[in-house]
Structure formats: C-alpha cells, structure tokens
Amino acid sequence: MKAKDYIIAELERADGAYLSGEELAEKLNISRQAVWKAIKSLQADGYDIDGATNRGYALNPDCDKLSSAILRNLTAMRVYVFDEVGSTNDEAKRIFATSGECAVTAARQTDGRKKDGTPFASPKDKGVYLTCAFTLDCAADRRREFAEACAEAICAIVSDISSKKAERADNRIYIDGRQACGILTEGQINLDTDRLTAVFIGVGVYTAQAGEELGFADCDERRNQLIAKICLALRGVACSFRH
C-alpha cells in the first residue's frame, strides 16, 4: 500500500481530528517531507484535507470521495475503486477469476443492468454502485433463498439511512413507491456437483439522485461508510450459506 493510502486511512480513522505530520511520519516510518508530499497528492486527488500550522492535518468529515484505503480499513476486504466502469458486476467477475473474493465500487457505471437485462441508470456520484464477490459452497437450489437474504439485508440498511420506511419487492427496494435501490445477484454453479460456488451481488442505491423524495436529505452517511455497511452485511449472508 502506498504512503498516501495509509495516511488517508489514518485520517479517516481520526474522524475529523488533527494528526501531526510528525505523528504520521513516525507511525508510517517515513519522513515528514514524505508525509507532506502524500498530503499534497491526496488533495490533488480530491480529498478535502485541511493543514494547519502546529496542528497537523485533518480530513473534512463531510468528504465523500470514494477511497479504497478507507474501505479496506472499514471492511478488512480487498476493495477496488474506479471512477468509471461498464458494470461493477462484470469487473468483479474479472478480478475474482484471478484474485478471489473482493468488492468493486465505482462513481459511475456506463453499462449497469437490471435483472431483466435492461439498463440500470448509474449517474456519476449520484449513488452507490457496488458489487461484492464471494466464494460459496451450498446447494444450487438455494440460490433464490440466497438472493432474498441479500435483498433483506440491504433493505434493512436502506431503511436505516432513510427517514422513511423502505419496502422490498423481489430484487428492488422502494420508498414511497419510488425505487431507491436495485440488486443484481449472479453466480457460478458447478454442474458436476450442482453446487453454487461463487456469487456476485450488485447493488445500486440512489443516495443523492432523489435525496429528499427518498428520505435521504438529512442523511449524514458518507458513501464509504454506506458501502462498508453493505459489504459487511453481504459477507455475513455469504458466510451463513457456506454449508
């Protein structure tokens, strides 16, 4: 991991408190000049970091930039962050094929899709677009049960961040009749054993696109935090099906 990845994770963990350059340098075993260069690079990347003489550096608690370092710190998972992908599900499948379990998130999807294959609108920075890829080992005839368990877990999270009650209909989640979230669950089945061996759970939550109408207007949940909650919930579901 690069120095700036460690630093942004430390600043996120500090939750708005200032960390001195000397403190960061000692913790990472690098020079204060290297810390300063890393901070400048992070600011250029779009992170809202304040630097104050005799106080150090602090990440603005309202900073909502997607960060693989922050997400790794929050989830203990390998998380890949992209500015743009065709489909997070497709990207997660590619990474999973060579590297195993992971999560993929992007600020925008250009080829997001629904369960029926029609496009899933994924405008830049207007929501959370995420896919979690997990190994599994359960009977293939439990795939519907697995998809429903994932949808229930995500519905609970959406209800938690909204001031209004979320309701689930199959793989969609609605608030006041408006779609707040879509879920696309895909998998790999071993035809010899009839076992479900891997799953790819795609989640799209419109956190900002219709914030007021969906009850998200007063939500202080940052995207990294929301993504982490979804990743951990889905990992819990996957673990419960590994038998």
R_g (Cα) of the chain, nearest Å: 19
Question: Which of 167-171, 191-195, 228-232 shows the lowest mean pLDDT across its residues?
Answer: 167-171
Percent of the chain with pLDDT over 70: 93
**Per-residue confidence at 110, pLDDT binned at 50, 70, 90?**
very high
Whether 198 contacts 136, CB under 8 Å: yes
Across the chain, what does the average pLDDT equal? 88
Digit-coded pLDDT (tens) for 127-171:
889 999 999 999 999 999 999 999 999 999 988 877 778 889 988
Q: Which amino acid is at 32?
A: R
Question: Which of 4-18, 26-40, 176-190 shows the lowest mean pLDDT across its residues?
Answer: 4-18
Q: What is the mean pLDDT of residues 209-233?
A: 70
How many C-beta atoms lie closer than 10 Å to residue 46's C-beta? 11
Digit-coded pLDDT (tens) for 50-73:
999 889 999 987 777 888 888 988
For residue 80, give the nearest of 101, 63, 102 by alpha carbon: 102
CB-based contacts of 229, cutoff 8 Å, min separation 6 = 157
Percent of the chain with pLDDT over 90: 57
CB-based contacts of 42, cutoff 8 Å, min separation 6 = 4, 7, 8, 49
- Pairing, β 172-175 against β 178-190: antiparallel
- Sorted by where each starts, the structural domains of the chain and their CATH numbers stand as 3-59 (1.10.10.10), 68-240 (3.30.930.10)
Instruction: Look up the pTM and report it.
Output: 0.83
CA 202/CA 185 separation, integer angstroms: 6
